Structures are given as structure tokens and as C-alpha cells.
Structure 1
């Protein structure tokens, strides 16, 4: 059996161990969702030109998703090193 075929909990495994960083991110995600769904009233939001009325939780959720995507993209690209 090759090392690629084994599913284990070795130190470098991406999905095996519960780390403090993963616990912290889970706590932040839960707090974010609680905050978003506690704010359910309708608000007016200006999107460059039009003004729309929508529940505040949808605006907060969209902002959180866009921020997460930007963070994922920035982390994925990482710093470029010149040789």
C-alpha cells in the first residue's frame, strides 16, 4: 500500500486533527452566524446607484461571503518570491 492510499491522522494530514486554529475558526463562524441572524429587520442599502430595501441579515451574509472569498483568494495566491 502506498502512502497516498492511507487515510490517517499523521501530523501533515489536512482533515485529520482538530487544531486550535480550526476550533477558533469554528467559534468565529458560529458567532458570525448568530450576529447575522439576530439582525433581521429591513434596511435601505445603496448599491452604487440603486437603493434597495432588504433584510439586514442578507446584506451581512453577502458581505461575510465576499470577505471570505477575498481572504481565500489572497491566502491561496500567497507571497511570490523572486529568485
Structure 2
């Protein structure tokens, strides 16, 4: 029988690895979102409850995207903690 050495082990293809499969949609969506955000450079007026703020649209979109990412991280973290206790 032939012995397998660490150099002869079958390697999983890069796109089949679980970490890559989980990160790939995030990377693609982030790239498209950032392109969309930085293409919108006009100044807009945004009402924040009472004050009226004039700022570039890309800044408002970037803040909204960042808050969405933060909400996603918090949700995933809470879900993983809930499942690890059971």
C-alpha cells in the first residue's frame, strides 16, 4: 500500500472551501454596492428628524451601507451564540 504524505493529499478547490463560499457573496455584493455608492456624487438634502443636512449622496449611501453591515454582523453573532448554547 502506498502511504500518503502531506504533499500528496488531495486539495479542495479554492471555490469549494467553506470559508470562501461564505465570503464570496459578501465580497461581490460589497463591490457592487461600493461602485454604486461612489458613482452617486451629487449633493442632496437629508432630514435627520429635525435638522436638514446637505451632504454628498455617496456619504449618505455609505453610512446606510455601514449600518446595514453592522446590523448583519450583530444578527449573525446573536444567531451563532444562540445555536452554540443548545
Same fold (TM over 0.5): yes
Structure 1 residue 20 displacement after superposition: 2.7
What runs of 5+ residues in structure 1 fail to find an aligned partner?
1-10
Aligned-CA RMSD value: 2.6
1:23 corresponds to:
24
Greater fraction of residues in helix: 2
- 1:47 and 1:57 map into 2 onto residues whose CA distance is 16
Distance in 2 separating the partners of 1:74 and 1:24: 17
1:57-79, Cα deviation, whole Å (9 max, x unpaired)? 00000000011101101110117
Change (3 A) 1:33 1:19: same
2:77: which partner in 1?
A: 76
- Length-normalised TM-score, structure 1: 0.70
Summarize deviations over 1:9-59 as a string: whole Å, max 9, x none. xx9xxxx87623322211111100000001000000000110010000000
Aligned to 1:35: 36
What secondary structure is seen at the aligned counterpart in 2 of 1:74? helix
Larger Rg belongs to: 2
* Distance in 1 between residues matched to 2:26 and 2:38, nearest whole Å: 18
